[in-house]
Amino acid sequence: MSKRFVQAIKAEDVAPGGMKNIDLEGHEIAVCNIGGIFYAIQRRCGHMNAPLERGTLDGKILTCAMHSAQFDATTGEALSGPVPHDFKGETPPPGMGRYLMNVAMLMELIKTNSIRTYDTKVESGVVWVSIRPDRC
């Protein structure tokens, strides 16, 4: 079965090291530019469904802004679950500390799933995405 590619976004609209979210025929997708190579991934985090384009892309490592779960943007593989936030040496107020400990215990029970990737190609300065998922 041959893949059907859909015109997604102009390549120039995704800066190197950047991400842009798009909606393609009902699929929420984030397009990533990693060293001039374009990757398309499921837009929502495999941990708690947060929008991944709000996170950071460092090389091929995509870190979710919500709980710092990390993914390989080239394969969709979940690399780590949520990471506790650093309070920079500050001690949170007693009530807040207990609350954060409870949240951390609950989050440990939430699995971080790998995310879907989609094939891409670039033609005439346009990124095309195959909306049939490659992997999940």
At residue 95, the pLDDT reads: 78
**DSSP codes joined into one string, 28-70:** EEEEEEETTEEEEEESB-TTT--BGGGSEEETTEEE-TTT--E
pLDDT over 60 (residue 35): yes
Q: Say which DSSP state 126 is in.
A: E
**pTM, two decimal places:** 0.80
Cα radius of gyration (the chain): 17
The mean pLDDT value for 24-46 works out to 94
At residue 68, the pLDDT reads: 84
φ, ψ at 39 (rounded to 5°): -125, 145
- 41-76, pLDDT tens digit by residue? 999 988 888 899 999 999 999 999 888 889 999 999
Q: Say which DSSP state 135 is in.
A: B
At residue 128, the pLDDT reads: 97
At residue 131, the pLDDT reads: 84
Q: Give the mean pLDDT of the chain.
A: 86
Domains of the chain (ranges, CATH numbers)? 5-82+112-130 (2.102.10.10)
Taking the C-alpha atoms of residue 67 and residue 126, their distance in angstroms, rounded to an integer, is: 32
φ, ψ at 107 (rounded to 5°): -65, -30
Please give the single-letter amino acid code of residue 56: T
Which structure tokens are listed for 105?
A: 């215990």
Confidence of residue 87 (pLDDT cuts 50, 70, 90): low
- Percent of the chain with pLDDT strictly greater than 90: 56
Cross-sheet strand order for the sheet of 126-130? 5-10, 126-130, 120-123
Kindly tell me the burial class for residue 108, based on how many C-beta atoms sit within 10 Å of its own C-beta (0-12, 13-18, 19 or more): exposed
